[in-house]
Chains A and B, each alone.
Chain A
Amino acid sequence: MTVSETDYERTVAHSDPILQMRDTTVSFDMERGESRVLDNVDMDIERNEVLGVVGESGSGKSMFASALLDAVVDPGYLRGDITYNPGDGESVDVLEMSKRERKQYRWEEVSMVFQGAMSSFNPVRDIETHFVETLEAHDYDVREGMQRAKQILSDLYLDAERVLDSYPHELSGGMKQRALIALSLVLEPEVLVMDEPTAALDLLMQRSIISLLENLKERYDLTIVFITHDLPLVADIADRVGVLYAFEFVELGPTEEILEDAAHPYTRMLLKSTPNLESSIENMRPVEGSAPDPVNVPEGCSFHPRCPLADEECIDVDPGPYDAGEGRFVHCHHWEHSAEEIPMEDASETAGLADEGVESRSTKPTPDHEGEEPVLSMQDVEVHFEKDTGFMDFFGDPPAVKAVDGIDLDIYENDVVVLVGESGCGKTTLGKTAVGLQRPTGGSVEYRGDDIWKVRDGDGDGSVSWGHIRRSLQIVHQDPGSALNPHRRNSKILEAPLKRWHDELDGNDRRQRVMSMLEHVGMTPPEDYYERYPHQLSGGEQQRVALIRAMLMNPEVILADEPVSALDVSLRVEMMDLLIELQEMFDTSYLFISHDLANARYIAERTGGRIGVLYLGELVEIGPPEQVINNPQHPYTQALRWATPELDPAEERAEESPIREIDVPDPTNPPSGCRYHTRCPEAREVCTEQTPESYSADTDAPSHRGTCFRMVDDHEYWHSESIVDESKDSFDSAADTGTAPSDD
């Protein structure tokens, strides 16, 4: 990179950086050559800002985080200049500190929250010990420190005493992540570096944590570096955003500017590839190609192999930072033209970008299935798991987890239903029950009118066989790697279903068929992939193989359990497009499971499907995507809607949270009445006593239904007392709990 320091300093002369990084490189020696996982990076982190760092996996974002604490793990080699300016007192060279200084610098000045909160605590020690030992190691007053720890924990809406007494495994993921944040703040650091702190959490928890972070930042006077792959997520809290690509920053600027008018082609394409709730589906487009290998980063502009604007200059000259004004820096020779070449709206007539996917990326209205025969019909399905107990535990009823509790759902031909909800809401269990992988403890699952478990037990009328049902209902797992037999080549994996179900095909036909499928899903040349083993494929490719395998069975319904969540953001749209295309080609129905409302919307809108929202084992709302997204009836759907980050900077950031409690209640003991009443901002007395039924929404879509009293005009709900404690300084301090129905 050809940045000269003076360029930088001229424009940020007025600034007051707390951390400055110059020419910082992290490299690993590998057999194939030197692998640079952070490449000559310059960055100023301003005092008391929230800097969002966005990058896909393998962009060097975690290395950036580690470098800030001089905590690059061996055998990585970190060089360059990193300066810490404490504000009062002298600037320190982070890479030249003595052992004692470094110990003090880490955690007392700059602390860090990792992605793996699940494993950031020692499993054999309780949470309190973690706090105490940290305070002791830094010679802090333990009593005073624990006082502070409790305060921070309760600022994070945790029951401090209970959490401190717990062992890590006793806390949910969201609780652990918050406890970890508290632990990182217990020594009152100036800077908090967060590396994908919310990636493993549900959206609602992510968003809740982010809104809590804002309060924390004010209260404890923090500078926050928030590293993530999810651009919309940081958009919410970051003052500035830096975009990493191929181990260097390609663009840096104020959040608003980046979102509204990104100058680097990669940023623009990344924005377009990110599913969200606002921008129209027609405009979403994957970033073609893949991220470069750290050993072999392309010469010149590292983005040129994927960039539609690339020309000779890009291949020859590494683009230095161009000052794009308003504190924006862009590493692109043609940044001034990127906006016209890659417009955020409507791309169809744009040269250079018009790919064949354009016309197919259209939305479909959700048809009315009234009167149709469903392929799969679930009636009042219940799945209750008894907690595992031994033969001595016959005293008393063991607690049962009601994973699925009385759900009706019909899936028609060529239908798509996307189930969304937080983890533990029963969406995966319901999905498995639908395709016959989980036996329900109550209710029935019918395949074209035959109860599949009766068929299984030999009580059917003989019109369909269990084998036929098994073949018709297929599953594609979240983690394709574990679903494919690692000891078999793709050829074997893919030909097995053909052998079994299409015995009229001979070996050559099968091969042809598999090859054409591989080619169709973009695994070219197919001969090359045909003989590979699963571990020789990337995650996306494994997912494709798993998908083809399912499709070759000629199924009628496919359960796809979070099929894209393991993929990078820029690849998700592509994979979803492929899923949708295959659906049309093979004439199947899908049951999707997703924790992400934006992905759910993308799939449901493009296929004319429905979105179903699950909460604690119940289906609380279902309907066409436009309705569920834009006119949500159930307060829980509204909360999920709130939790889905927006790309629109004009949207008021960090509106008040619409939930009263961050954590999901214990599923072994779900709340009485409406199960959502403990978190619902609209809850009233009657909600704790009566269980709402499924009501038809007052919209034009007949398939839109929900389970909230507020959907019924003359329900006694409207005369019931509110149970929301407005005086409580709670998470929803501003939630409006007006007494009159809003539509009165």
Chain B
Amino acid sequence: MVNIDWRLRRLGQTAFTAWAVITLSFVIVRMMPGNPMGAMIQQLERRGMDPVRARQLVELRLSIDPTKPIPAAYVDYMVNMVQGNLGQSVYYQESVVDIIAQSLPWTLFVLSWATFISFFIGISVGALMAYWEGGKLDVGLTSWAILMGSIPFYVLAIMLLIFMSYRWGFFPTGGKRPTGIEPGLTWPFISGVIHHAALPILSMIVASGVASLGMRGNAIRVLGEDYLRVARLRGLSDVTISTQYVARNAILPMYTTLLIGIGEMFGGSIVLEQVFQYRGVGWYMLSATYQRDYPLMMGGFVVITLAVVIALLIADLTYGYLDPRARGQESESY
């Protein structure tokens, strides 16, 4: 019962955030001084379009009727949003939803592999570092992780691009799929896709040295715990101890970090996709900014923010399965 209350509350918070994000996008479009809507109308009028026609077009594109008073326009906008109508891109002349639906999987593809691999490496390396605390590996990796953590990831990405692609030609310099190959579940296509995604993934992984540092700190803390000592005395096997006692407790504090990390990577992907000319959501969003393609920009903004909010919600809701202490805090007994 308590659990339900708690989950409902998180859900409520998430819904609230989502609403706030969408409202914010409305506010930006509609009410900011020098607002995008005004700018769009002017743009069209400058191209010689009749003002009434221009306004209709803007309404279609932005899902906001410029002639309506703000409250009514707001209600319309929200209804459109909830129905999944994010307006129409000015530049591509396509619906924003379609563009995002096409590009989002590519971004997710890069992100999920980057996250998965970097955490896998981070956790195993972190555990090893903790185990050989103070050893050469530990010292070396710690400095590496600190170094990597302090270089902005896009600098790293550019360096990778310069060397791996332009100089040595290991990887393509841009794009997300092989050219001239029919899309489909064929090996040439799939390997081409992986080939194109490799550099973006790699630069994200390299930049995430921090993960292993975090794991190391946690694992060291766990290694000092009494329950570990008792478990050894009880004669539990090394496998049980390292998985159920060390790793599980060391991962706990990282779990939320992991999902917050996804959020950060989403943000990072905007720049990263630009560097690698990788046409995911981030790329579209940034180029929409250059094109003054407000509908697409806002759509990208809303979708990315929502994705992060949802990732956090999932983190919160599932954390209880990993850590019983977080299960319905209220029921903590005497």
Q: Which residues of A contact B (CB under 8 A)?
A: 69, 71, 73, 103-104, 106-107, 111-112, 114, 116, 119-126, 133-134, 137-138, 167, 169-172, 183, 387-393, 395, 424, 664, 666-668
A119 touches B227 (CB 8 A): yes
- A120, A134, A664: the one contacting B334 at CB < 8 Å is A664
Q: Once bound together, how far apart are the Cα atoms of A389 and B329, in whole Å?
A: 9
A71 touches B233 (CB 8 A): yes
**Nearest chain A residue, comparing its CB with the CB of B329:** A388
A390 touches B6 (CB 8 A): yes
A387 touches B330 (CB 8 A): yes
Identify 27 residue pairs between A and B in the complex whose beta-carbon atoms are under 8 Å apart, listed by A's number: A107-B233, A107-B235, A111-B233, A112-B233, A114-B230, A121-B227, A121-B230, A122-B231, A122-B245, A123-B249, A126-B324, A134-B236, A137-B237, A137-B240, A167-B324, A169-B324, A172-B333, A183-B234, A388-B330, A390-B5, A390-B6, A391-B9, A391-B12, A392-B5, A392-B9, A664-B334, A668-B334
Q: Which residues on the B side are within 8 Å of A122 (C-beta)?
A: 227, 231, 244-245, 249
A390 touches B9 (CB 8 A): yes
Which 10 pairs across A and B sit closest by C-beta, in order of nearness? A392-B9, A167-B324, A119-B226, A116-B226, A103-B235, A390-B9, A137-B235, A120-B230, A134-B234, A122-B227
The answer to the question of B94 belonging to the interface, with a C-beta cut-off of 8 Å to chain A, is: no
Known: A392-B5, A392-B9. A123 touches B234 (CB 8 A): no
The answer to the question of B195 belonging to the interface, with a C-beta cut-off of 8 Å to chain A, is: no
A124 touches B322 (CB 8 A): yes
Q: Which residues on the A side are within 8 Å of B323 (C-beta)?
A: 123-124
**Nearest chain A residue, comparing its CB with the CB of B322:** A124
B334 touches A133 (CB 8 A): no
Q: Which residues on the B side are within 8 Å of A664 (C-beta)?
A: 334
Q: Which residues on the A side are within 8 Å of B322 (C-beta)?
A: 124
B8 touches A392 (CB 8 A): yes
Known: A387-B330, A393-B5. A73 touches B249 (CB 8 A): no
Which secondary structure dominates chain B's binding surface?
helix
Chain B 5-38 interface 0/1 with A at a Cβ cutoff of 8 Å (1 = within): 1101100100000000000000000000000000
Q: Which residues on the B side are within 8 Å of A121 (C-beta)?
A: 227, 230
CB distance from B324 to the nearest CB of A (A): 4
Q: Once bound together, how far apart are the Cα atoms of A387 and B232, in whole Å?
A: 38
A124 touches B248 (CB 8 A): yes
A119 touches B225 (CB 8 A): yes
- A73, A133, A183: the one contacting B229 at CB < 8 Å is A73
CB distance from B313 to the nearest CB of A (A): 14
Q: Which residues on the B side are within 8 Å of A71 (C-beta)?
A: 229, 232-233
Q: Which residues on the B side are within 8 Å of A119 (C-beta)?
A: 225-227
Q: Which residues on the A side are within 8 Å of B233 (C-beta)?
A: 69, 71, 106-107, 111-112
Q: Which residues on the A side are within 8 Å of B12 (C-beta)?
A: 391-392
CB distance from B254 to the nearest CB of A (A): 14
- B229, B231, B232, B334: the one contacting A666 at CB < 8 Å is B334
Q: Once bound together, how far apart are the Cα atoms of A124 and B249, in whole Å?
A: 7
Which residues between 210 and 262 of chain B lie within 8 Å of chain A, taking CB atoms? 225-227, 229-237, 240, 244-245, 248-249, 252
Q: Which residues on the A side are within 8 Å of B53 (C-beta)?
A: none
B325 touches A167 (CB 8 A): yes
- B234, B245, B333: the one contacting A137 at CB < 8 Å is B234
- B6, B235, B244, B333: the one contacting A125 at CB < 8 Å is B244
Q: Which residues on the A side are within 8 Å of B329 (C-beta)?
A: 388
Q: Once bound together, how far apart are the Cα atoms of A117 and B235, in whole Å?
A: 18
**Nearest chain A residue, comparing its CB with the CB of B234:** A134
Q: Which residues on the B side are within 8 Å of A392 (C-beta)?
A: 5, 8-9, 12
Q: Once bound together, how far apart are the Cα atoms of A526 and B333, in whole Å?
A: 48
Q: Once bound together, how far apart are the Cα atoms of A457 and B257, in whole Å?
A: 43
Known: A116-B226, A122-B245, A167-B324. A667 touches B334 (CB 8 A): yes
Q: Once bound together, how far apart are the Cα atoms of A393 and B236, in whole Å?
A: 43
- A107, A120, A124: the one contacting B252 at CB < 8 Å is A124
**Nearest chain A residue, comparing its CB with the CB of B236:** A137
Q: Once bound together, how far apart are the Cα atoms of A666 and B226, in whole Å?
A: 28
Q: Which residues on the B side are within 8 Å of A171 (C-beta)?
A: 333
Q: Which residues on the A side are within 8 Å of B226 (C-beta)?
A: 114, 116, 119-120
Q: Which residues on the B side are within 8 Å of A390 (C-beta)?
A: 5-6, 9
Known: A114-B226, A392-B5. A170 touches B252 (CB 8 A): no
Interface centre among B236, B240, B244, B323 (most CB of A within 10 A): B236
CB distance from B123 to the nearest CB of A (A): 16
CB distance from A166 to the nearest CB of B (A): 8
Q: Once bound together, how far apart are the Cα atoms of A120 and B240, in whole Å?
A: 16
Known: A71-B233, A133-B236, A134-B235. A666 touches B9 (CB 8 A): no
A172 touches B334 (CB 8 A): yes
Q: Which residues on the B side are within 8 Å of A126 (C-beta)?
A: 324
**Nearest chain A residue, comparing its CB with the CB of B252:** A124
Q: Once bound together, how far apart are the Cα atoms of A171 and B248, in whole Å?
A: 21
Q: Which residues on the A side are within 8 Å of B232 (C-beta)?
A: 71
**Nearest chain B residue, comparing its CB with the CB of A170:** B333
Q: Which residues on the A side are within 8 Å of B236 (C-beta)?
A: 133-134, 137
The answer to the question of B182 belonging to the interface, with a C-beta cut-off of 8 Å to chain A, is: no
**Nearest chain B residue, comparing its CB with the CB of A667:** B334
The answer to the question of B332 belonging to the interface, with a C-beta cut-off of 8 Å to chain A, is: yes
Known: A114-B226, A169-B324. A106 touches B8 (CB 8 A): no
Q: Which residues on the B side are within 8 Å of A668 (C-beta)?
A: 334
Q: Once bound together, how far apart are the Cα atoms of A387 and B231, in whole Å?
A: 34
A123 touches B325 (CB 8 A): yes
Q: Knowing that A112-B230, A112-B233, A119-B226 are A-B contacts, what are 16 other residue pairs whose CB atoms are under 8 Å apart, sorted by A's residue number?
A: A71-B232, A73-B229, A104-B235, A106-B233, A120-B227, A121-B230, A122-B231, A122-B245, A137-B234, A137-B235, A169-B324, A169-B332, A170-B333, A391-B9, A392-B8, A666-B334
Q: Once bound together, how far apart are the Cα atoms of A119 and B231, in whole Å?
A: 11
Q: Once bound together, how far apart are the Cα atoms of A473 and B273, in whole Å?
A: 63
**Nearest chain A residue, comparing its CB with the CB of B9:** A392
Q: Once bound together, how far apart are the Cα atoms of A471 and B87, in whole Å?
A: 65
Q: Which residues on the A side are within 8 Å of B249 (C-beta)?
A: 122-124
Q: Once bound together, how far apart are the Cα atoms of A121 and B231, in whole Å?
A: 8
**Nearest chain B residue, comparing its CB with the CB of A135:** B234
Q: Once bound together, how far apart are the Cα atoms of A134 and B6, in whole Å?
A: 34
B324 touches A123 (CB 8 A): yes
Q: Which residues on the B side are within 8 Å of A106 (C-beta)?
A: 233-235
CB distance from A448 to the nearest CB of B (A): 38
Q: Once bound together, how far apart are the Cα atoms of A124 and B231, in whole Å?
A: 14
Q: Once bound together, how far apart are the Cα atoms of A101 and B144, in whole Å?
A: 43
Q: Which residues on the A side are within 8 Å of B332 (C-beta)?
A: 169-170
Q: Once bound together, how far apart are the Cα atoms of A138 and B233, in whole Å?
A: 11
CB distance from A153 to the nearest CB of B (A): 17
Q: Which residues on the A side are within 8 Å of B234 (C-beta)?
A: 106-107, 133-134, 137, 183
